[in-house]
Structure 1
């Protein structure tokens, strides 16, 4: 098997496992996976709090994000806040009612990481962290280069 195939299959398996674990949160709190993903994103990315940020960084469709945002607002988990300088820009803020959801998401994230990183030494985790940092930097650099072409 080729290394790139193994890499892509491994990444796909990681995403599938996380989605499977996240579905527990969805069932517990009556959310779709995209809604849970948006709550998680807003919790973990202060300053990246517009629908456009979610579309760009989570690579979700505008329609899916719009529908999920509306649903989260109806469930009183999210609110819109106009930008003080640019009224066209709308920030999305988690409401206090989202607290139990974010706690559940944190528990799932911890469970996921402890599962996939089980048995790694401290040195291996440091190497893994550096590897990912460089991998993502190379990816960003390549993406920026392809956008300019």
Structure 2
């Protein structure tokens, strides 16, 4: 399918750039993705939200969080009000990884959007959002 094949090309290029950061800091792709997700989405800082939003499996997220915690890159913080609510906090030792990741993300965006006007970038983002929203609705069984 055309869209899926093209999507994989974009994903593969992103993983090539982020893979350099992973190699440099001895991280798996999932560990890197979690660090960057937590940095870019500080209000979605629980394991359940990472699983839900990133469409990752609970087991992969759980094992990656444990490894990140063992590496001193994150800590889990239990809510005083709700013992079951565990927030994940990036620690200072993750700062260099985040900086390298932001540079990789910036390079990715510049390279894949090269030659597009600002208007074309906005149209592209709007269309992609609509495609993703349609897929979300279908996954939830809201639309047939």
CA displacement 1:10-63 (0-9 Å, x = unmatched): 001111111111110111111111100100111111221111111111122211
Find the aligned partners of 1:124 and 1:61 in 2 and give their Cα distance: 34
1:132 alignment counterpart: 128
Q: TM-score, normalised by structure 2?
A: 0.92
Question: What RMSD in Å do the two structures reach over aligned CA positions?
Answer: 1.7
Find the aligned partners of 1:107 and 1:13 in 2 and give their Cα distance: 20
Find the aligned partners of 1:47 and 1:135 in 2 and give their Cα distance: 24
Q: TM-score, normalised by structure 1?
A: 0.89
Structure 2: tracts of 5 or more residues without a match? none
**Structure 1's 142 and 130: CA in aligned 2 closer, same or farther, altered over 3 A?**
same
Find the aligned partners of 2:143 and 2:2 in 1 and give their Cα distance: 30
Structure 1 runs of 4+ aligned residues shifted over 4 Å read: none
Of 92, 95, 98, 2:94 maps to 98
**Structure 1's 140 and 61: CA in aligned 2 closer, same or farther, altered over 3 A?**
closer
Of 34, 39, 53, 2:35 maps to 39
Structure 1: tracts of 5 or more residues without a match? none
**Structure 1's 110 and 142: CA in aligned 2 closer, same or farther, altered over 3 A?**
same
